Amino acid sequence: MAVETRALWLSPRSDVIAAEDPSVWRAGAPDYSLTVDRLAQERQVNFPEGSLEDSVTNLVRVFEMEATYKADARTWISIDPDVFTMRTNGGPAVTAHDVTTQGAYNLFLGDRPDYRGSKHTFDSSEAVFHQAFPEGFLWELMTLTVALPIATLQWRHWGRMSGTFGDVEGDGGMFEMFGTSVVTLNDDLKIVSSEHYFDAGSMFDQLTGRCPMAH
């Protein structure tokens, strides 16, 4: 199944950046030039350009870009900002405005022994994970099941921990996590709601070098 004429939010991030007014970005347009080659080299799955899977991949990447770099949710093109909600691992629903003010990492992770999302601001949370993954924290779609308006995504996040996480010095080893997202789309294929499921405990076991059998 292919998307013949793609809307901007289903297109590569570079197209969105080129089309947007520079004023929508928090501190200038984002630059993904350092991660483009790594994505091509390290991704495990490639979908045909123009396929539905390719378009949904672009949609998620545009969403992540907007969540990180656009301070005003009304300028997000990947979602319907009037109704959008997001849940993580069965937690409470949050809005796009919550993401812009509290930070996606804080809302995804919440309060855990190794990371207290409630103690972090948007900026400090971004700094924590940029410091851990200075070479980038990449995302790819692994499988897609669609029964509109619902799309179920199996995904992979990965990066080389060449920085530091708290007191833990990274050795450049590969960090990898997998998860599932159940996304509701509207008729324009914008995101109306999303529910994300992943093992946060395993994520922090990798970040801290802790043996998963120790807890």
Per-residue pLDDT of 170-180, as tens digits, reads 999 999 999 99
**Which amino acid, one-letter code, is at 211?**
C
Residue 214: is its pLDDT beyond 90?
Answer: no
Within 8 A by CB and 6+ apart from 214, the residues are none
Q: What is the pLDDT of residue 209?
A: 81
| SS3 track for the chain | CECCCCCHHHCCHHHHHHHCCHHHECCCCCCCHHHHHHHHHHCCCCCCCCEHHHHHHHHHHHHHHHHHHECCHHHCCCECCCCCEEEECCCCCECHHHHHHHCHHHHHHCEECCEEHHHCCHHHHHHHHHHHCCCCCEEEEEEEEEECCEEEEEEEEEEECCCEECCEECCCCEEEEEEEEEEEECCCCCEEEEEEEECHHHHHHHHHCCCHHHC
**Backbone φ and ψ of 146, nearest 5°:** -125, 130
Predicted confidence at residue 188, as pLDDT, reads 96
pTM of the model: 0.92
Residue 151 contacts residue 59 (beta carbons within 8 Å): no
Residue 5 has pLDDT above 90, yes or no: no
Compute the distance between CA of residue 109 and CA of residue 25 in angstroms, rounded to an integer: 24
Given a cut of 90, whether residue 215 has pLDDT beyond it is no
What are the φ/ψ torsions at residue 83 (nearest 5 degrees)? -125, -5
Query: Which pLDDT does position 1 carry in this prediction?
Result: 46
C-alpha Rg value of the chain to the nearest Å: 17
**Tokens of residue 205, six digits:** 């076991």
- Work out the average pLDDT over 1-5: 54
Tell me how far CA of residue 196 lies from CA of 41, 87, 154, 171, in angstroms: 26, 6, 10, 29
Over range 135-159, report the average pLDDT: 96
pLDDT, tens only, 44-90? 999 999 999 999 999 999 999 999 999 999 999 999 999 999 999 99
Token representation of residue 183: 């996304």
pLDDT value of position 34: 84
Give the percent of the chain with pLDDT over 90: 85
Residue range 11-33: mean pLDDT, rounded? 95
pLDDT digits (tens, 9 = 90+) for 91-101: 999 999 999 99
pLDDT above 70 covers a percentage of the chain that reads 95
Q: What is the mean pLDDT of residues 115-143?
A: 95
- Report the Cα 22 to chain-centroid distance in Å: 22
More confident residue, 208 or 84: 84
**Look-up: residue for tokens 């499988």?**
143
Q: Does residue 159 carry a pLDDT above 80? A: yes
